[in-house]
Amino acid sequence: MLLIRDINRLKKMIKRAKNKEKKIGLVPTMGFLHEGHLSLVRLALRKSDVLVVSIFVNPMQFAPSEDFRQYPRDLNRDMRQLRDEGVDLIFYPDTKRMYPPDYATAIEVQGLDQVLCGMSRPHHFRGVTAVVLKLFNIVNPDIAVFGKKDYQQAVIIKRMVKDLNLGVEIVLGKIIREKDGLALSSRNIYLSQKQRIDAVVLYESLQWIQRAFKNGLRDRKKALTKIRGMIRHRGGQIDYVEAVNKETLKPVRRLNKGTLIALAVNFGRTRLIDNTILR
Amino acid sequence: MLLIRDINRLKKMIKRAKNKEKKIGLVPTMGFLHEGHLSLVRLALRKSDVLVVSIFVNPMQFAPSEDFRQYPRDLNRDMRQLRDEGVDLIFYPDTKRMYPPDYATAIEVQGLDQVLCGMSRPHHFRGVTAVVLKLFNIVNPDIAVFGKKDYQQAVIIKRMVKDLNLGVEIVLGKIIREKDGLALSSRNIYLSQKQRIDAVVLYESLQWIQRAFKNGLRDRKKALTKIRGMIRHRGGQIDYVEAVNKETLKPVRRLNKGTLIALAVNFGRTRLIDNTILR
């Protein structure tokens, strides 16, 4: 397993692999890997000949008020985990090489990046699209794997890939959860014991709406009001609870099969997201 | 010579050429080719094994009030000229395939795209960067050739290429002029005979500042005031006349070797640009 920091060195290695007709895979991460990331890695390993896992806490997707500095990091543990999975290449770029002082380019996916998480984090997705586009240009992958927990991110990246004629297949891996249902997140370690228990309400509320939808509930307002109540009752401060079209991310009038239910909730200073697609 | 409309067909052809280690060149144009374009084509032919010349009047870089519909087009003449130059491939994409109804992605090169031409054409460069990035992703060129007449465009594209880690070498071709000095432009055909004669003042004013600089003029205000006067005297309505750093595009305090003198002037409804670098 190789840990590569230099962008041009990685580009050259990829070019050699491409010349041998190897299929290149990419899993972009911010490190501090958990089973959610590892499930994406396993999916990518099955679908590629040479897999690059990038570890880069991308400053551009954090607002000044957010947790960029505090974001958890543990490179040695990440490396051990990736070695155990059989990963070939880790790309661990230097922040100053990724964003030199004169860096000036932003990518906007208009209409998709100002809703849901884009409301409370107005510059977040510009940072995501910029770093993902840079990684695509550096790694030149045939496939790239993202998680469904960041569903809006996946929708935005897919649209960017289509709009910009990038030849990357975007593969989505499912949400991995703790035994009690809490979606895995690097930020879960911020939670107090009480908050950790309360946060299960996110999963419970998504389970509830799936059942209610199965039993005939179609009224958007009724459904969302009920979920908001469930979450507030457990001490969550709601950023948003929404029912949207899973491609356009526009609010739906009535719940339908395929409607995306997405939520973002703060427990104390920790912001958690989760989602489900009605089936 | 092949005229290709289908994006995927072109992508496949390029992939085959790349597998044979051919060096791919790209000259993006909006058609209605003149000697300025052809000089870029000749430059690109010398620097590549397989050359793609794209012809696409990009709606995204025109404001609703601008001349997208009236922009001159003559595909047959363009094809004849390119065949005579020995061009292999013309890419002539369909507007609806380039920008489907759900197209949503914009690229901003902040700080560079809101000055000079970006002042009076605030969305122009977003359209330029989007189409150029799409063309780069479709054609995957090793080199791409642009003209120095659109100097700001070249600066923005170079920055985008660097910021996004695109592996494209940007080559700039010099400004080609009529015998009397007017820079070639597809828009020159809009000029009346009187305007055509008056428009030479753009070149004359740039010639004047080169001479004055050689003779010791360093005062920015004095230089720009003189040029503005020369242009107004010949009936030009000034959009801007500026002296800026040729990389950051920020105004300079004093004229220096390497300072970019750039101007945009309307003669009637026809907007012309020109520039020179002090030497």
CATH for B90? 3.40.50.620
Q: For residue B129, count CB atoms less than 10 angstroms from its CB and return exposed for 0-12, middle for 13-18, buried for 19 or more.
A: buried
Beta bridge partners of B2: B89
In a domain, B178, yes or no: no
pLDDT at B129: 98
Whether B107 sits inside 8 A of A102 (CB atoms) is: no
State how far Cα B243 lies from the chain centre. Answer: 19
User: Both B52 and B132 in a single domain?
Assistant: yes
pLDDT band at A111 (very low <50, low <70, confident <90, very high): very high
User: Both B11 and B109 in a single domain?
Assistant: yes
Over residues B240-266, the pLDDT tens digits come to 999 999 999 999 999 999 999 999 999
Task: Give me the phi and psi of A32, to 5 degrees please.
Answer: 50, 55
User: Both A138 and A199 in a single domain?
Assistant: no
Is residue B230 a contact partner of residue B193, using CB atoms and an 8 Å limit?
no
pLDDT at B88: 87
pLDDT at B144: 98
Whether A11 sits inside 8 A of B138 (CB atoms) is: no
User: Both B76 and B150 in a single domain?
Assistant: yes
Q: What percent of chain B has pLDDT over 90?
A: 98
Over residues A227-278, the pLDDT tens digits come to 999 999 999 999 999 999 999 999 999 999 999 999 999 999 999 999 999 9
CATH assignment of the domain containing A247:
3.30.1300.10
Chain A residues with CB inside 8 Å of B101's CB?
none
Is residue A104 a contact partner of residue B112, using CB atoms and an 8 Å limit?
yes
User: Both B158 and B202 in a single domain?
Assistant: no
User: Both A63 and A88 in a single domain?
Assistant: yes
Residue A88 has pLDDT above 90, yes or no: no
Give the DSSP letter string of A78-106. HHHHHHHHT--EEE---HHHHS-TT--EE
Q: What is chain A's Cα-based Rg? A: 19
Residues of B engaging A, defined by a Cβ cutoff of 8 Å:
7, 11, 102-112, 130, 133-134, 137-138, 159-160, 163-167, 248
Count CB neighbours of B216 within 10 A: 8
> How far is B236 from chain A, CA to nearest CA, in Å?
34
pLDDT band at A68 (very low <50, low <70, confident <90, very high): very high
User: Both B230 and B156 in a single domain?
Assistant: no
Mean pLDDT of B146-152: 98
Name which of A106, A166, A248 is nearest B137 (Cβ-Cβ).
A166
- Tell me the residue range of the domain where A237 lies: 186-277
The reported pTM is 0.96
Mean pLDDT of B168-186: 98
What is the average pLDDT value for chain B, to the nearest integer?
Answer: 97
In a domain, A178, yes or no: no
Whether B110 sits inside 8 A of A104 (CB atoms) is: yes
Mean pLDDT of A195-222: 98
In a domain, B259, yes or no: yes
Mean pLDDT of A87-115: 96
Helix pair angle (B124-139, B7-19), 10° resolution? 50
How long, in residues, is chain A?
A: 279
User: Both A195 and A167 in a single domain?
Assistant: no
DSSP letter (8 states) at residue B164: T
CA dihedral A232, A237, A241, A247 (to 10 degrees): -150
Mean pLDDT of A103-119: 95
In a domain, A211, yes or no: yes
ipTM of the complex: 0.95
In the residue annotation, A34 being an active-site residue is answered as: no
Q: Element (H or E) spanning B263, and its range?
A: strand B260-267
In a domain, B66, yes or no: yes
> How far is A160 from chain B, CA to nearest CA, in Å?
6
Whole-number Cα distances in Å, B175 to A134, B36, B89, B228: 32, 7, 24, 22
In a domain, B250, yes or no: yes
Is residue A185 a contact partner of residue A272, using CB atoms and an 8 Å limit?
yes
Over residues A158-192, the pLDDT tens digits come to 999 999 999 999 999 999 999 999 999 999 999 99
Selection from B27, B173, B4, B156 nearest residue B94 by Cα: B4
Residue B268 has pLDDT above 90, yes or no: yes
DSSP letter (8 states) at residue B68: T
Mean pLDDT of A24-50: 98
Chain A residues with CB inside 8 Å of B111's CB?
104
Q: Which of A112, A140, A173 is the last residue of a domain?
A: A173
Q: Which of A146, A173, A200 is the last residue of a domain?
A: A173
Q: What is chain B's Cα-based Rg? A: 19
In a domain, B115, yes or no: yes
User: Both B150 and B203 in a single domain?
Assistant: no
Residue A48 has pLDDT above 90, yes or no: yes
Alpha carbon distance B69, B57 (integer Å) = 9
Chain A residues with CB inside 8 Å of B104's CB?
109-112, 159, 163
User: Both B159 and B24 in a single domain?
Assistant: yes
User: Both A139 and A52 in a single domain?
Assistant: yes
Whether B108 sits inside 8 A of A105 (CB atoms) is: yes
Show Cβ contacts of residue B71 under 8 Å, excluding neighbours closer than 6 positions. B30, B32, B57, B62, B186
> How far is B35 from chain A, CA to nearest CA, in Å?
30
Q: Which of B147, B173, B199 is the last residue of a domain?
A: B173
User: Residue B142, SS3?
Assistant: coil
Mean pLDDT of B161-181: 98
Residues of A engaging B, defined by a Cβ cutoff of 8 Å:
7, 11, 102-112, 130, 133-134, 137-138, 159-160, 163-167, 248
Over residues B69-120, the pLDDT tens digits come to 999 999 999 999 999 999 989 999 999 999 999 999 999 999 999 999 999 9
Mean pLDDT of A101-124: 94
User: Both A59 and A197 in a single domain?
Assistant: no
Whether B165 sits inside 8 A of A134 (CB atoms) is: yes
Q: Which two tokens stand for residue B11?
A: 């992508």
Count CB neighbours of A15 within 10 A: 11
Whether A164 sits inside 8 A of B137 (CB atoms) is: yes
In a domain, A34, yes or no: yes
pLDDT at A37: 98
pLDDT at A7: 98
Alpha carbon distance B151, A164 (integer Å) = 24
**What does DSSP say about strands B260-267 and B270-277: parallel, antiparallel, or unpaired?**
antiparallel
| Total domains in the fold of chain B | 2
Residue B219 has pLDDT above 90, yes or no: yes
Residue A99 has pLDDT above 90, yes or no: yes
Residue of chain A with shortest Cα separation from B105? A109
